[in-house]
Amino acid sequence: MTDSRTLARRIAETMLRGEGTGPSWGVRIEDADVGYSKISMTVSDVMLNSHKIAHGGHIFALADTAFAYACNSRNQATVAQSASIVFTSPVQNGERLEAEAREIAVMGRSGVYSITVRGNDGRVVAQFQGQSRTVGGAIVEE
């Protein structure tokens, strides 16, 4: 466990505690590192669309949350500029989803990240690509 990895974990935990969203969705941090995060969430009634499967907006929101932890992991405040998502499999009520974010590249203040969301059985349910922009300011005190 390196210092930068410890810092990344502390940043993710600080962000999650400070959010309205993550705690209300039951988001848990499974892992965090520089340019990396893995988080989980269990789909509940209030996350279903009218077809009684998980709303795509909630699957996106989970991926976007993993993206946020990964792109802020160097302790410089960073925001999402754009993102795209492909939905590959419906998600049932009660399924535990896991979103894993990996950094593809950072060039100056811009970054690009790839996030894969998997269901209970490990199948890919969505693939997300996000573009970040560093706006500056620290997330936690070092």
Residue numbers at the binding site for a second copy (CB under 8 A): 14-21, 24, 44-52, 55-58, 60-65, 68, 77, 79-90, 104-105, 107, 110, 112, 114, 116, 123-124, 127, 129, 131, 139
Minimum CB distance to a second copy smaller for 6 or for 82: 82
Least distance in angstroms from the C-beta of 96 to a second copy: 17
Q: 1 or 122, CB closer to a second copy? A: 122
Q: How far apart are CA 15 and CA 130, in angstroms?
A: 18
Residue among 1 and 46 whose Cβ is closer to a second copy: 46
Cα dihedral 47, 31, 102, 69 in deg (nearest 10): 70
CA distances from 60 to 42, 50, 71, 118, 130 (A): 14, 17, 16, 12, 11
For 29, the token pair is 């941090």
- Is 63 in a helix, a strand, or coil? helix
Given the structure tokens 């269901």, which residue do they identify? Answer: 119
User: Nearest distance from residue 140's CB to a second copy, in Å?
Assistant: 11
Nearer to a second copy, 2 or 83 (CB): 83
Minimal distance, residue 3 CB to a second copy, in Å: 22
- The first and second tokens of residue 21, run together, are 């969203």
C-alpha span between 17 and 57 (Å, rounded): 22
In the bound complex, what is the minimum distance in angstroms from residue 28's beta carbon to a second copy?
A: 16
Closest distance between a second copy and the C-beta of residue 123, in Å?
7
Q: Given the complex with a second copy, which of 4 and 127 has the nearer CB atom?
A: 127
